[in-house]
């Protein structure tokens, strides 16, 4: 048995050596074919995974007028749930949204005092998958700002401003190409809103909104991981936040006036 195996190996090597160029070419073609086949399988697998991941990241938020009837809202929710492409729908009433906002800012005396002075609910009715949440309120409680929850995930959403007049809710303007934005704070006098925007996979960029529009705040020299504006002074003259230098967040202060 051993001699037979050795004889087969010897014969194979002899034939391989005798036609070395042809043998090498045939082996290379087979190897390339296998590599190409495995590459196609891998590409198909990755494409499928990426497609599923993108589908799971699509979040939509909708806002109803304050005079929208409850039964109409619930009917819309039911219609959305009947769609095969919709995984879940969460309806948050105005009252629930306000309670969530109060709970989230339970330790902020300014926000609590401002809300206590109001005789109405300043939040519009949101329904979404998931909905943005409020992050800041002006001194007199007339304007509230917010955006997608920044919980380390990949939620995509838009910076929002709620007011007690007109349509009651509006998306804040952002630079062309923006796919994600959030308003994080508003000045006491309501003249300035700060937050951040991001385009596709690009790093976030600190942004300032005023009555004149939006202003991109300058990054620190050497910033590689983007920046975010997180707080603003009472009159909007100073903005504070973070800038990422070599994967390390650094405190930043911008002077706007």
pLDDT along the chain (257 residues), means of 10: 68 67 79 90 86 68 73 86 80 80 81 70 50 78 79 61 65 80 91 88 86 85 79 93 84 88
State whether 35 and 128 are in the same domain: no
In the chain, how many domains are there? 2
State whether 107 and 210 are in the same domain: yes
Three-class SS state of 35: helix
State whether 174 and 129 are in the same domain: yes
pTM of the model: 0.51
Please report the sign of the dihedral spanned by the C-alpha atoms of residue 120, residue 126, residue 130, residue 136. negative
State whether 24 and 126 are in the same domain: no
Residue with tokens 């951040």: 196
For residues 150 and 133, what is the distance between their CA atoms, to the nearest angstrom? 10
Predicted pLDDT of residue 93: 79
Range of the domain at 37: 2-52
State whether 165 and 246 are in the same domain: yes
For residues 137 and 151, what is the distance between their CA atoms, to the nearest angstrom? 20
What is the token pair recorded at 219?
A: 């990054």
């Amino acid at each position: 048995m051993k001699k037979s195996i050795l004889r087969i190996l010897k014969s194979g090597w002899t034939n391989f050596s005798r036609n070395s160029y042809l043998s090498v070419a045939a082996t290379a073609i087979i190897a390339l074919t296998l590599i190409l086949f495995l590459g196609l399988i891998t590409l198909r697998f990755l494409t499928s995974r990426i497609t599923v991941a993108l589908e799971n990241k699509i979040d939509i938020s909708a806002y109803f007028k304050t005079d929208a009837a409850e039964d109409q809202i619930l009917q819309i929710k039911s219609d959305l749930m009947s769609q095969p492409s919709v995984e879940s729908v969460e309806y948050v009433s105005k009252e629930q949204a306000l309670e969530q906002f109060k709970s989230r800012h339970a330790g902020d005396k300014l926000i609590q005092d401002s809300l206590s002075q109001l005789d109405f609910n300043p939040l519009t009715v949101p329904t979404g998958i998931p909905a943005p949440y409020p992050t800041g309120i002006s001194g007199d409680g007339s304007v509230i700002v917010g955006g997608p929850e920044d919980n380390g995930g990949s939620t995509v959403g838009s910076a929002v401003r709620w007011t007690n007049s007109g349509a009651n809710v509006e998306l804040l303007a952002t630079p062309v190409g923006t796919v994600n934005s959030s308003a994080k704070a508003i000045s006491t006098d309501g003249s300035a809103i700060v937050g951040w925007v991001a385009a596709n996979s690009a790093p976030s960029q600190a942004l300032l909104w005023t009555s004149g529009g939006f202003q991109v705040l300058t990054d620190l020299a050497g910033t590689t991981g983007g920046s975010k504006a997180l707080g603003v002074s009472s009159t909007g003259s100073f903005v504070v936040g973070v800038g990422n230098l070599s994967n390390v967040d650094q405190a930043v202060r911008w002077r706007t006036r």
